[in-house]
Structure 1
Amino acid sequence: MNLSYWEHKSWFTNLDFVIVGSGIVGLAAALELRRKHPMAKIAVLERGMLPSGASTKNAGFACFGSVSELLDDLSVHSEEEVVALVKKRVYGLETLKKLLGTDAIGYDACGGYELFTLQDEALYTQSLEAIGRLNKLLDPIFDAPVFSRLENSFGFDNIQPQLIFNAFEGKIDTGAMMQAFIKKVYSSDIQIINGATVTAMSDSAGGVSLEINGELSIRASRVLVATNGLAGSLLNEDLKPARAQVLITEPIPNLYFNGTFHLDRGYYYFRNIDGRILFGGGRNLDVDGETTTLMETTEQIQSALDLLLRHTILPGKDVKIEQRWSGIMGVGSKKAPIVKQVSEHVYCGIRLGGMGVAIGADTGTSLAKLID
């Protein structure tokens, strides 16, 4: 990298803390470090022009789990573990709102809905029967019933006659959230360096050596890895990348419904935004193929999204797609994030399990608190 003396001196020397990744976790960690260390030199390294994992790619759901998703969690976790997960997600959303403000992130307490296709008869019956159990399980968190039944009055086709309503779910504006984060980070005298991919990292006496873009070597006293599903190239942890594909329509005249909507254990999700439908999911159609860090879309999953959009969500409407994209989440054998010290000078906050909006700010704050 053809750096001048001034560039190297101003941006890359005497670094107290380097954070790898400028998503929700990384920026929340940076802000907490600044609170704890007012005079420290803090730099955030970001591989992309914008945060390039999932923080600017997600659907903007302020959620903590639908009924069928929680039942899926209960099949591999204890009740105590699932309650702890939900509590962490709810608390994390409150942390995010307090950190940035509800107006800055476009928070809308619209409520959430879970739909079931006619083919999902068994899951539909199981989920309806579980409402009472889950409400009782979550009562210590919400002190009120979370889930209730509603009739399908939205005009969705090929859907079971009743929906499950979640009174405590909401949505945010993902772009506004990240802009608010970046603005707050800059105003806290923290530098974000874009186009800086950390290609190697070595912890040794006195600090950490980092290689950027395969050619620039720098050192930092401490390093925090906050790249979630993209952390596999730097760390050996219980973590796999999980790609999520999304599409958004052109504006649709008289789009009448508001809320967040889930299908099939949370594998599909849609919402309205600016008079459009944003629709994502389908990773379960090709789990092996979607275990990737490639920011691409595939014909198989995009076709499945198109089909559900045109025949179930907006039946009989002429819908045009304006954009398609993908983001990379981090998953593993457990839903809880990995927040720990990796070596003497390296720490990580990764594996957010598809709940980055809910737990990202709290994960980043907890990550920074590991450091004296």
Structure 2
Amino acid sequence: MAGISQQRVKICLVLCLVGIVSASTYSTSSSSTTSSGTSSNSLLNPLFYAIKCPQALGTIKTLVNNAVAKEPRMGASLLRLHFHDCFVQGCDASVLLADTATFTGEQSALPNVNSLRGFEVVESIKAALEYECPGVVSCADILAVAARDSVVALGGPGWPVGLGRKDSTTASFSEASSDLPSPFLNLDGLIDAFQKKLFTANEMVALSGAHTIGSARCLLFRSRIYNESDIDPSYATQTRANCPKVGGDSNLSPIDITTKHSFDNAYYTNLINIKGLFHSDQQLFSGGSTATQVKSYSTFPLLFKLDFANAMLKMSNLSPLTGTQGQIRKVCSRVN
């Protein structure tokens, strides 16, 4: 047994080194992959604000930490905002544009309506930065940095965020309706949804680990806890207590019942114990082809965190607007 344990540790160390090299590759690259599969010369640079607004990253971190300390769930909400932004038009803050009488944005699309949160935190960060460095820091960059800082605040890994994104003047209700992965998808559907954004199945499993924090509405998991067989009976009974068959659509349950406010690998152990809250979550283990990776992440938490950081680096490079594209919004919820 000791020999097997030592061998696993060696394997983990090798894989961790690969992850570190991968992270370095992403952080120093000047090109990013677009959602359509082409490469754009994004020129994102972690030091982009070093001269123009040197206090920017410190300001974002302080305000994120304050928000998460006040309400730990906010960390998951800020991470989700970044994900829902990047998966639609790219990382351009289009998700922050509010609907008006003449404009329909992404917030009212089915995957977002009545579920996206954290807008007030983003606006408070933006207001502080506009006071310190008017017209310099984009809302898109705020989302990217706030997502990283939220993960770190809850015990997760950090990663070097490339900066220099601009904000879009458009949004896409149709793309938000079609491109954001549904919690009702089977494994093949999940793989296809992420592949559309050029993520591998392995990267999809790593990014799904974001569900180690946050809560979900009863409406999104009711069918699983009442109708599916690959679920622990005691877990189903416990979850039904706050999610009746009729009514209570907005009642919340933690996605990771074990450590709901800690960014760790318990999410994957829950899947092995058939305690995934969403149908799509449990599919990562029960669906077949990704089960081995779930087991690896459950056994090697450092491997999960490194893979998650690498996948987040890749996601934050989806189709950014740079240079003369877009604008620096004065207020994140509307164009200038």
Query: Is the shorter-chain TM-score for this pair beyond 0.5, marking a shared fold?
Result: no
Q: Which has the larger radius of gyration?
A: 1
Coarse TM-score class (shorter-chain normalised): under 0.3
Q: Where is the helix percentage greater, Structure 1 or Structure 2?
A: 2
Q: Where is the strand percentage greater, Structure 1 or Structure 2?
A: 1
Query: Taking structure 2 as the reference length, what is the TM-score of the superposition?
Result: 0.27
